[in-house]
Amino acid sequence: MHATVSQSTVSGSVAAPPSKSYTHRAIFAGAYGGETEIHRPLVSADTRASMRAVEAFGAQVEQEDDSLTVSGFGDKPAVPADVIDCANSGTTIRLAMGVAGLVDGATVLTGDESLRSRPQGPMLDAIDQLGGHAWSTRGTDQAPIVVEGWADGGTVRIPGDVSSQFITSLLMAGARTDSGIEIALRSALKSGPYVDITIDVLAAFGVAVERTDVGFVVPGKQEYETPADGYTVPGDFSAASYLLAAGAVAGGEVTVEGLFPGPQGDSAIVEILERMGADIDWDEANGRATVSQSALSGITVDVGDTPDLLPTIAVLGAIAGGTTTIENCEHVRYKETDRVAAMAESLERMGVTVTEERDTLTIHGGESELTGATLDGRGDHRIVMSLTVAGLVADGETRISDAEDVAVSFPAFFDVLDQLGADLATE
């Protein structure tokens, strides 16, 4: 599917979509526990992959209206009857590898072409350190992956700068081992707020995690408790970043409701917009952010903890005056696609001057005039959504392929933009 976007003015009030990160973790936490009702989950391609994964281990997931009911797999997950296809979801395959460590047998996990290109080596090594066995069928560090369990727990040394999802997986599974897991980070933790989200979800399910000078400890023999009133998923700042950016560059006035930050690192989008000079009002107590079209100026942003914001920031930088420098971004190359290169190449096609280095992306907005172009969405939901925002202000039409991939994290994205008045069509 292609999306075609023309210059538009957007305005109105919309609700933030539910958080993908929280939904994934709540589904797995529910599967480790008894029976949990998850209120206001994000039901998307990625989170459906997590639902299928936990069902493969013996859990049950039922969807009704705006909730999911997850019935856990009991004391021990079952040996999956078939290969688990995690589709495009890196979170799913990594969290499922942790569950697989508790299985009395072998688990095979794979995904689509994009997922099969992403590194899993640190988790394979962690499972081996814990007494299990995990390997790639291709002799690389990429899926398809086979895992044979390590169920007792122990100590593991793991890098912190490849993906925080490995730490999340170990914490969630470690609580169900006999002796727990002690995690020592071999390198500085990037995307740390995502581990904070994990700890927040675990606390809601009665699972304790301790921070140490070198990493984390999750004690063993813990039970996942069912939250008394179920678990409610908060709004997603990652997805809301596109709506707030649209208001800042193509408003009108756009209000996004349901934004309560908690440990979400991507709430930094509010501060980033403020630093760039956007007219933004964030009523944190009521979870409401309102932004209007503003003259933006380039800034320097470190995305070590907020990798998913890079595409949004890159587009803002292309429209802003001056230079925007995105630093500490090498780990963003290991997402659904190499997002650093994808944004550099896409913005250059739109007439923007860009300097790409391994760990830095510099956008020379003051030297550029944004022009519509035909762009490759690269099968990446965040690339598609960010380029759509660019198309709202580019001269002429912007046509983006793979538009259907917004279903990974924000299925209603184009409907919401249409509601706000964007001139767009999908076909």
List strand residue ranges (DSSP E) for 72-167, in order. Answer: 84-85, 106-110, 133-136, 145-148, 154-158
Token digits for 373?
A: 């172009």
| Dist CA 321 CA 122 (whole Å) | 41
Residues 139 and 207 in one domain: yes
Query: How many other CB atoms sit within 10 Å of the CB of residue 301?
Result: 25
What local confidence, expressed as pLDDT, does residue 43 receive? 96
DSSP 2: -
**Are 215 and 280 in the same domain?**
no
| The pLDDT of residue 41 | 97
Share of the chain above pLDDT 90, in %: 95
Instruction: Tell me the DSSP string of 189-237.
Output: -SSHHHHHHHHHHHHHTT---EE-SSEEEE-SS---PPPTT-EEPPB-H
Domain C-terminal end among 185, 220, 255: 220
Indicate the length of the chain as a whole number: 427
Going by pLDDT thresholds of 50, 70 and 90, the confidence category of residue 14 is very high
Single out the residue in 220, 247, 270 at which a domain terminates: 220
Q: How confident is the model at residue 205 (pLDDT cuts 50, 70, 90)?
A: very high
Strands lying side by side in the sheet with 210-211: 154-158, 181-185, 215-218, 210-211
Average pLDDT of the segment spanning 390-401: 98
The average pLDDT across 154-182 equals: 96
Catalytic positions: 308
What's residue 366's pLDDT?
85
Residues 33-46: tens digit of each pLDDT: 999 999 999 999 99
Q: What is the pLDDT of residues 235-270, one digit of tens each?
A: 999 999 999 999 999 999 999 999 987 899 999 999
Question: Does 216 share its domain with 355?
Answer: no
Residue 64 three-state SS? strand
pLDDT digits (tens, 9 = 90+) for 81-103: 999 999 999 999 999 999 999 99
Name the residue among 85, 100, 244 with its Cα closest to residue 172.
100
The mean pLDDT of 348-372, rounded to a whole number, is 95
Give the pLDDT confidence score for residue 261 in this predicted structure. 73
The Cα–Cα gap between 111 and 196 comes to: 26
Q: What is the pLDDT of residue 149?
A: 87
If you average pLDDT over every residue of the chain, what do you get? 96
340 within some domain: yes
**Residues tagged in the binding site annotation for 3-phosphoshikimate:** 20-21, 25, 163-165, 191, 308, 335
Looking at the fold, whether 129 and 212 belong to one and the same domain comes out as yes
pLDDT(104) > 80: yes
Q: Is the pLDDT assigned to residue 402 strictly greater than 80? A: yes
109: phi then psi, degrees, rounded to nearest 5: -125, 140
Q: Are residues 210 and 243 both part of a single domain? A: no
Query: Which H or E run includes 38?
Result: strand 35-39
Same-domain status, 25 and 171: yes
In a domain, 277, yes or no: yes
Reported as a pLDDT band with limits 50, 70 and 90, residue 151 is confident
* Residue 190 belongs to some domain of the structure: yes
Q: Is 110 left (phi over 0), alpha (psi -120 to 50) or beta?
A: beta
Averaged pLDDT, 277-282: 97
As a whole number of angstroms, the distance between CA 320 and CA 168 comes to 36
Label residue 74 by pLDDT band (50, 70, 90): confident
Q: Residue 399's pLDDT is what?
A: 98
DSSP secondary structure string for all residues of 390-415? HHTTSBS-EEES-GGGGGGT-TTHHH
CA distances in angstroms from 386 to 18, 246, 265, 416, listed in the order given: 18, 9, 18, 14
Query: Given this model, what pLDDT does residue 368 score?
Result: 82
254 and 312 both lie in a single domain: yes
Is the residue at 225 inside a domain?
no
- Calculate what percentage of the chain has a pLDDT beyond 70: 100
Helix axes 339-349, 381-391, angle to 10 degrees: 30
Residues that constitute the known binding site for phosphoenolpyruvate: 20, 90, 118, 165, 339, 382
Q: How far apart are CA 217 and CA 102, in angstroms?
A: 18
- Structure confidence by residue, pLDDT tens digits, 117-144: 999 999 999 999 999 999 999 999 999 9
Q: Are residues 260 and 351 in the same domain?
A: yes
Task: Find the domain containing 295 and state its range.
Answer: 3-17+235-426
pTM of the model: 0.90
Q: Residue 65's pLDDT band (boundaries 50, 70, 90)?
A: confident
Q: Which of 181, 197, 220 is the last residue of a domain?
A: 220
Residues 278, 212 share a domain: no
Q: What is the CATH number of the domain that holds 179?
A: 3.65.10.10
Number of domains in the chain: 2
- Does the pLDDT at position 170 exceed 90? yes
- The rounded distance, in Å, linking the Cα atoms of 332 and 166 is 16
